[in-house]
Structure 1
Amino acid sequence: MNEKNPAPVAIVEDKPDILDYLCELVSEHPRFECRHKYHNGEEAVSFLPQTNAQIAIVDIGLPGRLDGIDCVRLTKPKMPDTLFMMYTVFEDTEKIFESLKAGASGYLLKDASDAKILASLEDLLEGGAPMSGSIAKKVIEFFQKKPEPSKAAEVLSEREQEILQLLSKGRLYKEIADVLGIKEGTVKVHIHNIYTKLHVSNSREAIGIVFGNGGK
């Protein structure tokens, strides 16, 4: 997209002052042109798919029956090539992932500077997934967080949990016995008790119930 053919941008925002501010900011940049403005989700869902908008900036906290996430979820399938960027005050993990699942490619907080907003729009056009710093941090923390044992582990004793954890790492019965300083026969007894408590017949099922896939 060059300066002679700026990317058409749509904005969905219920507050008139913010809507006008964004539209003016976007249109001042040679690569973009604000062509479509909507004040609520219902309006956007009805008319946005009829446009050639290449980028849509969408507020989450819209009034009425449809919020911004609903708007993206209902509109994205009708215009798969359009790049949606959320522009919101919400920074909780649930809203972030609901937006991304709905089809958003970017997520900016409303305290973003003019330069950040414009840089994010350029990033979108170039195939990026722009996010405010604090949002990107939450996404990274979510994926780096180690899975916690499920509540199923609560029925197991501390020793049984230790043994199941070692099993999930591929340790043999003898190796588990050596690590824990107990007899191999004792390990087998604990494993039998684990299967009984979890109502399973093998270690794979037990590991899956307590730790998820693989438990690693």
Structure 2
Amino acid sequence: MSIRIVLADDHPVVRAGLVGLLAMEADFEIVGEAADGAEAVAVTAALRPDVVLMDLRMPELDGVAATARIVAEVPGCRVLILTTYDTDQNIVHAVEAGASGYLLKDATPEELAAAVRAAAGGETVLSPAIVAKLVNHLRSPAPAPAEPELLTPRETQVLRLVARGLTNADIGRELHISETTVKTHLVRMFAKLEVGDRTAAVTVAMQRGVFPG
């Protein structure tokens, strides 16, 4: 089954290049394009793709706002940020908006294709360079209104493997537990961290020092 993709970028040349690049992958199907954030939301709502490749800086609605709208309005669609901007704030805001991953436009064709497949499969796509920037940003101490509930050692193990991009099945094999048990740990972690998805869980855990640099 093909992975259905929408491209959102305000530069026609960039979109054309991505179409040509992704069309070389037999399991990819480009179903739509958008030239601004508002159009990206509308096209995604109409076509229900598996993955949206989203630029950050666009007119009408920027990539972060468009991502938040898509995540809220089109369940099951994954948004992969593809941009030239790698500042800490851009990354954090995109992740907080619900993006499934963050990729820079200097990525190789192989890296881009792998990222699209990983995002479509429900995995978190953060390159080592992006993770490093997140860690550096989140190291800065911030006052917490209340002491957060601590993760158990097993939950921490599971979340570390999530941060490495492993699927639930992969984590089960790594820790010699069932996939159902992995899902149970994830549900408990989401509740403790007060998040709704894997990417946010990794981000909040780094902020709380679960993954010390």
Q: Report the TM-score when normalising by structure 2.
A: 0.63
2: CA distance between counterparts of 1:21 and 1:95?
A: 24
Residue equivalent to 2:94: 99
CA deviations over 1:157-213 (Å, ceiling 9, x no partner):
xxxxxxxxxxxxxxxxxxxxxxxxxxxxxxxxxxxxxxxxxxxxxxxxxxxxxxxx9
1:108 is the counterpart of 2:103: yes
2: CA distance between counterparts of 1:77 and 1:84?
A: 11
Give the CA deviation at 1:36. Answer: 0.6
**Corresponding letter in the other structure for 1:51:** L
**Corresponding letter in the other structure for 1:141:** N
2: CA distance between counterparts of 1:149 and 1:57?
A: 35
1:33 is the counterpart of 2:39: no
Given that residues 70 and 77 in structure 2 are in contact (C-alpha distance below 8 angstroms), is that contact kept between their aligned partners in structure 1? Answer: no
Give the CA deviation at 1:149. Answer: 8.3
**Corresponding letter in the other structure for 1:138:** K
Give the CA deviation at 1:132. Answer: 3.2
Given that residues 33 and 43 in structure 2 are in contact (C-alpha distance below 8 angstroms), is that contact kept between their aligned partners in structure 1? Answer: no
Provide the identity percentage: 25
Structure 2 segments unaligned to the other structure (5+ residues): 145-207, 209-213
1:69 to 52, 64, 72: 64
2: CA distance between counterparts of 1:52 and 1:105?
A: 16
* RMSD between superposed Cα atoms in Å: 2.1
2:84 to 73, 89, 92: 89
Greater relative contact order structure (CA < 8 Å, 6+ sep) = 2
Given that residues 56 and 83 in structure 2 are in contact (C-alpha distance below 8 angstroms), is that contact kept between their aligned partners in structure 1? Answer: yes
- Shift of the 44–125 alpha-carbon distance from structure 1 to 2, 3 Å rule, reads closer
1: CA distance between counterparts of 2:42 and 2:143?
A: 45
Which secondary structure state, in structure 2, belongs to the residue aligned with residue 18 of structure 1? helix
Which secondary structure state, in structure 1, belongs to the residue aligned with residue 23 of structure 2? helix
How many pairs were matched up? 145
Residue equivalent to 1:80: 75
Give the CA deviation at 1:31. Answer: 1.9
2: CA distance between counterparts of 1:73 and 1:96?
A: 14
